[in-house]
Amino acid sequence: MKQFFGLKEIRSLSPLDRKTYLGGQVIEITYKDGSKEEIPNEIFKSAVDTRPCDPTNLRDRMTKPVIEKILAILLELEVKIIDIDYIQQKLAGLLNQRLDEANTILWGKNMYDKTLEDVHKILTKNNGTDPK
């Protein structure tokens, strides 16, 4: 039976030695077109189907286990309704801060100091061509 992850038909699945942050299994998907992708098995299982689906539907399926886990934590810790917006804001701020830190390490400069010339240099270095 054919399996699809979004619009792509799956040729094979392989478990990897790598684990997620909390110890979950990571798999490698090899698509019929030859491309490959590594993904946590839990996310894969929530999104795989016997029919192709559009990117929005795939995103909804992939985020479902994330939302369920976040809700479970909020319920487990008996978070007050009044604190939910505050927690969302704090989490978004923390995620943006971590992304900015990672980008600074990757690029060697703060996000606000990057220029289009920096982007051009990275693309030329990695693609080997000048996209003029």
Domain locations along the chain: 1-78, 82-132
DSSP character at residue 34:
S
Burial (0-12, 13-18, 19+ Cβ within 10 Å), 17: exposed
Cα 103 to Cα 96: distance, rounded to the nearest angstrom: 10
Q: Please say if the pLDDT value at position 41 is more than 90.
A: yes
SS3 state at 29:
strand
Residue pair 58/44 in contact (Cβ under 8 Å)? The answer is: no
Cα 62 to Cα 128: distance, rounded to the nearest angstrom: 34
Residue pair 1/24 in contact (Cβ under 8 Å)? The answer is: no
- Can you give the pLDDT at residue 127? 67
- Can you give the pLDDT at residue 42? 97
Tokens linked to 105: 């390490």
DSSP character at residue 1:
-
SS3 state at 76:
helix
Write the pLDDT tens digit of every residue in 10-30: 999 999 999 999 999 999 999
- Can you give the pLDDT at residue 128? 65
Percent of the chain predicted with pLDDT > 70: 95
Q: 103: pLDDT confidence band, cut at 50, 70 and 90?
A: confident
- Can you give the pLDDT at residue 88? 97
Residue pair 11/3 in contact (Cβ under 8 Å)? The answer is: no
- Can you give the pLDDT at residue 86? 98
